[in-house]
């Protein structure tokens, strides 16, 4: 947990220094790129955010013009969230900063072989269903 917090803190600082939005914006935009448009509850499941946090985050992102909401045709209570072209461009501009901060945090402490091993282990753990272990 300490390593996770430390690394994310470095990523957040790098994004802030580049005058980019917080990492959570990247995560939302990435999930919308991977599977969008998505309903807020689907985003919530993918990002593991509390509903009220996600609602406020989507509000801020919509105000900035990087996501937009659209009502579902089959259910008036439902809405879809999609990335706008501006949002897609923003996510792409955030990636080099994000990746560089991760590289810096990992390369300074691990050999390439150790980094690959940890990556393989984390991939295995992240693909484990919630019911395992």
Burial 59-79 (b: 16+ CB within 10 A, else e): eebeeeebbbeeeeeeeeeee
Average pLDDT of the segment spanning 113-117: 90
Paired with 38 in beta bridges are: 81
pLDDT band at 132 (very low <50, low <70, confident <90, very high): very low
- What pLDDT sits at residue 128? 53
Tokens of 98: 């994000």
What is the CATH number that goes with domain 2-126? Answer: 1.10.10.10
Q: Give the model confidence (pLDDT) of 17-35 as tens digits.
A: 999 999 999 999 999 999 8
pTM: 0.82
Q: Which ranges constitute the DSSP H helices of the chain?
A: 2-17, 23-35, 40-47, 51-63, 85-107, 112-126
Cα 14 to Cα 83: distance, rounded to the nearest angstrom: 23
Residue 74: is its pLDDT beyond 80? Answer: no
């Amino acid at each position: 947990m300490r390593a996770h917090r430390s690394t994310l803190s470095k990523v957040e600082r790098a994004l802030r220094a580049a005058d980019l939005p917080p990492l959570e914006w990247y995560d939302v935009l990435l999930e919308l790129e991977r599977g969008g448009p998505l309903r807020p509850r689907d985003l919530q499941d993918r990002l593991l955010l509390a509903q009220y946090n996600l609602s406020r985050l989507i509000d801020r992102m919509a105000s900035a013009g990087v996501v937009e909401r659209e009502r579902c045709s089959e259910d008036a209570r439902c809405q879809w969230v999609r990335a706008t072209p501006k949002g897609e461009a923003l996510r792409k501009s955030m990636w080099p900063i994000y990746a560089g901060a991760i590289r810096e945090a990992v390369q300074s402490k691990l050999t390439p072989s150790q980094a690959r091993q940890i990556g393989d282990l984390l991939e295995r753990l992240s693909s484990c269903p919630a019911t395992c272990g």
